[in-house]
Amino acid sequence: MKRVAGMFRTSLIVLALFANGAMAQTSPLGHQKNQLPEIGVVASNAISIDRERTIGDAYMRQLRAQAPIVNDPLLEEYLQDLGNRLVTQADNVKFPFRFFWINNSDINAFAFFGGHVAVHTGLLIAADNESELASVLAHEITHVTQRHIARSIEASQNNSPLQMLSMLGGVLVSMANPEAGMAILGAGMAGAQQAAINYTRDNEKEADRIGIQMLSKSGFDPNAAGTFFGKLAERYRYKSKPPAFLLTHPLPESRIADARSRADMYAVPPQSRQVSESFALAKVRVLARYSDDVANNRDYFEKIQNHPLPAWQQAGTYGLVLLDFADEKYAQAEKTLAGLLAAQPDNLFFIDAMTDILLEQKRVDDAIALLDPMAKRMPRNRVVSLNLANALIKGRQYERAIALLKDYLLINPEHTLSYQLLADAYSESKQKMEMHQARAEFFALLSVYPKAIDELQTAYNFTGEQRLEQQRIRARIDQLREAERKLKSL
C-alpha cells in the first residue's frame, strides 16, 4: 500500500507539471497565445520536449525509490540492446530511450515521458519468443515517439482543469497500478471520462499500426503482435482479474484481427524464425533469480534441455547452473558451466555466472583473471565492468575498482548499482569523504534529497584543508536543495 500511495503522490506531482505546461500556453480567457509551433513536433502546444524530459526524470527518480526495479547488469543490457534495435527504426525520436525491468509477475509494460519504458519480468516469462517481447516494446516506444500523453493533454485543454486532472490522474496512476488508475478514471466527470476512453482507443490503434511497422523494419516477425495479444486475450478471457497489460491495453477481437491483418502487409524476415539465444538465457535468468517457483523451474529447465533447438537446450543447462549456485552447490555449478564457457568463452551470461561462483569460493584472483582480458576487449561494457569492479573490491584492489567505476559512470551517470559499488570501494579503502559523496549521488537518483544533503554535509567534515573539495560539496548541496525545492513546489 505504501508503494501505491507513493505512486499516487508521484502522479499528483507530475500532474502539476502537466497542468503548468498546459495552462501556460493559454491566456486567461482560454485563447491560444499567438506563437509559432515547433515544426514537426507532435503536441508541442501542450508540453515542450524539455518539460517532458524534466517530468520523465522526476518520475524515474520516484520509481527508483518505490518500485522493485531490477538492478541486474545482464538483464539491463539485454533489454536496452533489444529496445535500441527497435528505436533505430522509429521516427520522431527526440531523446535517448531508457528501458528497465520491474520485478513483478504481472504481465505489463508502460512508457512515460522522457523516453522511459518499463517492462515487468512477468511479460518476459509470458512471451514465447523475442519477437513477442519486441512487439510490446515497439508498441510502448510508439506511445513515446507519438507523444500520446502530451496529445491527451492537448485534447483536454477545452475541459475544465478539474476534468483534465481527473482524467490524467487515472492515466498516470494506471501506469503503475492499473486497478487504482481505473478507479480514479471512474471517479472523474462523465465528459472527461469518455474523452479519455476515446482518445486512448485512438492512441492504441496508432501504437499498433506504427509498432508493427517498426517491428518488421527491425527484423522481427510482425505477426508476433497479433499472436501475443491474441494469446493473452484467450488466456484471460474468463478470468475475473485480467493482467495489468489488458487493463491498460484493452484487446477486443477487432483489435487483434486488425493487428494480424496489418502483419500480412509485411514480408516475414528470415531471421525472425530463428530463436534468439539471448532471449532464452534472459528468460531463464528471470525464472531462476526473480521468481519463487523453484521446484517447477528446475523441472522446466530439465525439460528444455531436451528441446530440439540448441539455444533452448543451452538455456536449460544455464538455468540449472543458477539453481545449483543458489543451493550453494558451487563445485557442481562450476563443472556444468565450464562446458558452456568452453563452447562460448565470450558469452556474458556465462561469464557473469562463473564470476559469482568463483567469488563465493573466495577465488578472487581467478575471477579477476577471467574478467581482465574481457575488460580490455570490451571497455565500459556494463556486465564486465561491474563484475570486475566487484571482484577488485573483494580482492582489495580498491583504486583499480574506483577508477573503473568512475570511468563507467561518465557514460552512465544514473546507474544506481555503480554508485553503491563505488561507495563500498571508498568505504573499504577508508576514504570517508568520497564514500559519503557517492552515497549522496545514490540518494539523489532516488530523489531522497534530505538524505543526499546529509551525506554531503557529513562528507564536508572530512575535507580537512581541501578548499576545492569544500567548494564542490557546497555547490552540490545548493544544487540538491534547489532540486528539492522544485519538487516540493510542485
3-state DSSP percent of the chain in helix, strand and coil, to 5: 70, 5, 25
Q: 453 in a domain, yes or no? A: no
Q: Can you tell me the distance from the alpha carbon of 7 to that of 128, in angstroms, rounded to the nearest whole number?
A: 31
| Co-location of 225 and 331 in the same domain | no
Orientation angle between helical segments 277-289 and 130-145, nearest 10 degrees = 90
Q: 291 in a domain, yes or no? A: yes
Domain boundary among 273, 297, 319: 273
203, three cell numbers: 492512441
Domain boundary among 254, 273, 292: 273
| Co-location of 294 and 195 in the same domain | no
Orientation angle between helical segments 130-145 and 190-217, nearest 10 degrees = 130
- Flag whether 204 is marked binding: yes
Q: 399 in a domain, yes or no? A: no
Active site residue 234: no
Q: 363 in a domain, yes or no? A: no
| Co-location of 243 and 178 in the same domain | yes
| Co-location of 299 and 237 in the same domain | no
For the chain, how many structural domains are there in total? 2
| Co-location of 176 and 53 in the same domain | yes
Q: 14 lies in which domain range?
A: 2-31+39-273
DSSP classification of residue 118: E
Among 224, 248, 210, CA closest to 110: 248
Q: Residue 147 region, left (φ>0) first, then alpha (ψ -120 to 50), else beta? A: left
| Co-location of 20 and 156 in the same domain | yes
Active site residue 140: yes
- Ordered per-residue pLDDT tens for the chain, 490 residues: 444 344 434 444 344 444 444 433 333 333 333 333 333 344 455 667 777 788 788 888 988 988 899 999 999 999 999 999 999 988 878 888 999 999 998 888 888 888 899 999 999 999 999 999 999 999 889 888 877 676 666 655 555 444 444 444 444 444 444 444 333 333 333 334 334 444 466 677 777 788 888 898 898 988 888 888 888 777 777 666 666 666 666 666 666 777 676 776 776 655 545 678 999 999 999 999 998 887 789 999 999 999 999 999 999 999 999 999 999 999 999 999 999 999 999 999 999 999 999 999 999 999 999 999 999 999 989 999 999 999 999 999 999 999 999 999 999 999 999 999 999 999 999 999 999 999 999 999 999 999 999 999 999 999 998 999 999 999 999 999 999 888 776 5
Q: 178 in a domain, yes or no? A: yes
Q: 418 in a domain, yes or no? A: no
| Co-location of 96 and 114 in the same domain | yes
Distance of CA 323 to the CA centre of its chain: 25
Task: Say how many C-beta atoms besides its own lie within 10 A of residue 162's C-beta.
Answer: 11
Q: 59 in a domain, yes or no? A: yes
Q: Can you tell me the distance from the alpha carbon of 189 to that of 18, in angstroms, rounded to the nearest whole number?
A: 19
181: Cβ–Cβ under 8 A, 6 or more apart, which residues? Answer: 170, 171, 172, 173, 174, 175, 248
Query: Number of helices (H) and strands (E), helices first, in the chain?
Result: 24, 3
Domain boundary among 300, 328, 344: 344
- Flag whether 139 is marked binding: yes
Q: Can you tell me the distance from the alpha carbon of 144 to that of 19, in angstroms, rounded to the nearest whole number?
A: 19
| Co-location of 235 and 263 in the same domain | yes
Q: 432 in a domain, yes or no? A: no
**Cβ atoms of residues 178 and 244 within 8 Å:** yes
Among 364, 360, 89, CA closest to 213: 89
**SS3 of residue 102 by DSSP:** strand
Please tell me which residue in 72, 76, 130, 140 is annotated as part of the active site. Answer: 140
Please tell me which residue in 132, 208, 424, 455 is annotated as part of the active site. Answer: 208
Element (H, E) at 116: strand 116-120
| Co-location of 49 and 136 in the same domain | yes
